[in-house]
Structure 1
């Protein structure tokens, strides 16, 4: 009542005075005063005649996090591959750690303690075997997320589908280990006697060991794959690269030894280069890359072997300048006429690359006349004036060099230097264009 009286007095003080006997209607505004508490309401929904309260709280919208797409504009994924342990070592380490697992303290009953120990050891063995397999599956990238150049290396080096097939085997082994481990750990936990628990533990250990021994070859295959891929040369996409191309045994590897730090095998038989060999050049405190590629033969892409496809992959997916090597002596095993056909095809296909032609073994050309072997099936090409000039002197503007007498090597090194500087300018302009398009 005291609060009501105070409220009434404040109303009388704030209200305006109306003279007695006046019938004038006036609109009087009073201060809005509210003394009621906030009313909490609960809504209900009727379900089969019963009232079930429903929450009025507005649930925050869950933001779907979009996983960023792995970048495929860089190379170097092979150097990040994890070290894979042999399956025998993984199994021995897991068994050793599992046998050291003790039962939970405080269990007085012998049967219960043995049952607890067996279940924990089987669970530990299962986890120790599955953990490295899970790590391998997470750290080996999917082929679709690799750079196109590395994607081609995987296919051409290992074989089509081999990489994915081995990863599937490892994943199947992990799943099998988890299923068998959980199954036998559950069986051991349900035993009633000490002897039953010991027998269940022994059976589970043997089963897990047998599964990993029989299917552990997939881990060894993955280990060999990791070794092969890590041995691939690292290519820096931002460093100017010179790629030596030509028919087999024309002297590409010898030129790489002269121009760079690379030391490829040099023998007098075709396809000496069994992969991509990398060297480096340091000129005026600037570093460049040089790659030696397998030789190309005169045939269609469908008939090319993996070594030839590897060369085409380098030219297709890497920003390289091309140093095309020609051998007109007839000693390389590919006639000048066939080399001319290969040269015209590659020149037309990769016309957007910076280009430099080199005729090797010029000391032999000057020493004695060479009897050229022509291809009768390609009479139109052989009769062309350009082909006739090619068989005698090579392409127009080609540098004639000799590794044996060092003839033309100084000019070649200078021209290579100029070519790589031009390639550096191209890479810089491409990078600026990319940054402007994707700030």
Structure 2
């Protein structure tokens, strides 16, 4: 099977670009220097090589252009006539012919000038002949510039053509514009054809693919065709007619029975399928029509009445209904031509609405079935079928009585299959549910409906949290509220008992003198709190005064003692407590007549062998902490004992001794080895002075 991929055609440069490319390549790939002592033979070979190399490059470039563009006589008639409709095959052939002529002229020019160069008698003569040869080649290429530009436009347009396989299973959608062809295409395939409420939105062929019974089908959406003479059809309509003429496919004729497309059924009836495929109407497909067998000229034809949501088929007028039945009768002739029976009219006339997708699947299935049956029947009539049948063996049971036993499918299987199909059609997707419930932003999909639980009602629990594969709500006590009330009641009783046990100065257990003292204390406490709040508010604006100028002496121990004494309380303990918190204890010097503790400390220090440690212990009190000596092992340092730590310290100092002695920088210092590297700060190098690198 031939696959046509026009996207692989290389870009066609214009004449000036080709000349620049070839001359630049010649200059780069051939010698360019002629020395004084060259013989005339060597000079001739030098310039002959340049001429031949230039001719060879021109020939290869032009041959690539000619070979990559398709030949209209060698490709499928569908693509040949499609290219004729889009670009006019006469102009196309003329452009390729001019390039072929230019290629031959360049070869002839090179041949002539190489013959002249063989008899060149001087450097000047050979040089002049070489310049003349290259100049004439470039002139020939520049003259075909318009043809190259035309082919480049054709290449760009061909790269945008759809990849249509003329030999595969194809469904063709056609007839009047604005009848719902593109909408049907978008429904059954993954294509995205533009749909607008006006005619001729589709201006070219669009291809999509759909699957049916594990087979891939090619669906082609064609532009609309108007009922007018063949000579008046424009390029857009001719694309559709070319596809109808050459593609062996199931043809879906779309009919708008509502009349909203702007064309009545009477107008559609005048435009008959068989008039389009008449050989007299399409003179450029006579050769194709003669190649096909009479059986293959009958295409599977289906008339689709679209837009039944606006106007059902039963609601149209009697005259229109009569015309529709006549169309159906005409379509039945194709069934008869394919070997069908008289009553075999199933799937010839179908109704559909692409808006609510009613009947879309039925139309697609009917077209695929009709097309598949027709392709099978055509293959059964070929000569190759005998070779295929020899490989098959159909087992047929021997008749044992007069009773017929035709092949059948069990009823249970048919019912199950019908049930699955009904469920598949009835099943609603999340998109359908979203449209029914207010659209995006309003509808929130339920994440619980696919939970696999023992009871379906559990999906809507108030607390459906899942932990370790279990529903948490299944493990909650149903009497949890009653138990909570009991706990709260018990907690309240406990709080009441604790309140009874606490001592609260509510005035019941106090004497009259103690009550007065308590009142004074509370009053004083409230005044202190107020003063503190005032000072806190005015702290930023109040000037700082040193303590020696505080003449009021509000916060002294003597004043506190006088106030407590006036209240009848002993202030000694409070004063001692305030003094102990206000300043630290002074260090006491040891004298000869010191106390016993200092004497004991001195006795203990005397036993120490080191004089410095002994003096240090005598000069500080026992209550202060001492720093750890370097030899003492701290937890987590990794040393076994103090001797091992002292040895490690000595080794570390010894390793750094040599570096310190040489005044070297340490490995942790940030250092710039060379502040001014020579290759950045030296001047211009002279010839031969590269040894420094």
- TM-score after normalising by structure 1: 0.68
Query: SS of the counterpart of 2:254?
Result: strand
Higher strand share goes to which structure? 1
Residue 91 of structure 1 is aligned with which of 19, 27, 35?
19
CA distance in 2, matches of 1:438, 1:173: 53
Aligned match of 1:130: 59
For 2:353, the equivalent position in structure 1 comes to 402
- The CA deviation string for residues 1-58 of structure 1, in whole angstroms up to 9 with x for no partner, is xxxxxxxxxxxxxxxxxxxxxxxxxxxxxxxxxxxxxxxxxxxxxxxxxxxxxxxxxx
Mapped partners of 1:292, 1:434: distance in 2: 31
CA distance in 1, matches of 2:383, 2:204: 33
Give the counterpart of 1:342 among 271, 279, 299.
271
Which residue among 202, 220, 228 is the counterpart of 1:291?
220
For residue 330 of structure 1, report the CA deviation from its aligned partner: 3.6
Q: How many residue pairs are counted as aligned between the two chains?
A: 348
> Which structure 2 residues correspond to residues 257-406 of structure 1 after superposition, within 5 A?
257-343=186-272, 345=274, 352-365=298-311, 387=320, 389-390=322-323, 398-404=349-355, 406=356
Structure 2 counterparts to residues 28-427 of structure 1, below 5 A: 76-77=3-4, 79=6, 82-87=9-14, 88-99=16-27, 100-102=29-31, 109-343=38-272, 345=274, 352-365=298-311, 387=320, 389-390=322-323, 398-404=349-355, 406-408=356-358, 411-427=359-375
**1:238–1:119 distance in 2 versus 1, CA, 3 Å:** closer
Alpha-carbon deviation of 1:209?
1.9
Tell me the distance in 1 between the aligned counterparts of 2:70 and 2:379. Answer: 26
Q: 1:348–1:135: structure 2 CA closer, same or farther, 3 Å change rule? A: closer
Alpha-carbon separation, structure 2, partners of 1:437 and 1:170:
47
Q: Comparing both chains, which one has the higher relative contact order based on Cα–Cα distances under 8 Å and sequence gaps of 6 or more? A: 1
Cα distance 1:428–1:89, how it changes in 2: closer, same or farther (>3 A)? farther
1:244 and 1:105 mapped to 2: Cα distance?
70
Shift of 1:194: 1.8
CA distance in 2, matches of 1:217, 1:132: 17
1:320 shift after superposition: 0.6
CA contact 1:112–1:194 (8 Å) conserved in 2: no
Q: Note the alpha carbon deviations across 1:358-386, whole angstroms, 9 max, x for none.
A: 233333337xx99x9xxxxxxxxxxxx65
| Distance change (3 Å), C-alpha of 1:187 and 1:386 | farther
Distance 1:428 1:136, change over 3 A: farther
Q: Distance in 2 between matches of 1:188 and 1:219?
A: 31
What are structure 1's unaligned runs of at least 5 residues?
1-73, 373-384
Q: RMSD value over aligned CA atoms? A: 3.6
Q: What is the CA-CA distance between 1:260 and the residue it aligns to?
A: 1.1
Report the structure number with the largest CA radius of gyration. Answer: 2
CA distance 1:200–1:283, change in 2 (3 Å): same
Contact conserved, 1:245 with 1:324, CA < 8 A, in 2?
yes
Distance 1:237 1:205 in 2: 46
Local SS of the residue matching 2:382 = helix
CA distance in structure 2 between the partners assigned to 1:413 and 1:393 by the alignment: 25
Find the residue that maps to 1:76 and give its secondary structure.
Answer: coil
Using the size of structure 2 for normalisation, the TM-score is 0.45
Q: Whole-Å Cα distance in 2 between the matches of residues 429 and 103 of structure 1?
A: 71
Question: Residue 25 of structure 1 corresponds to which residue in structure 2?
Answer: none
Q: Which shows bigger deviation, 255-264 or 325-334?
A: 325-334
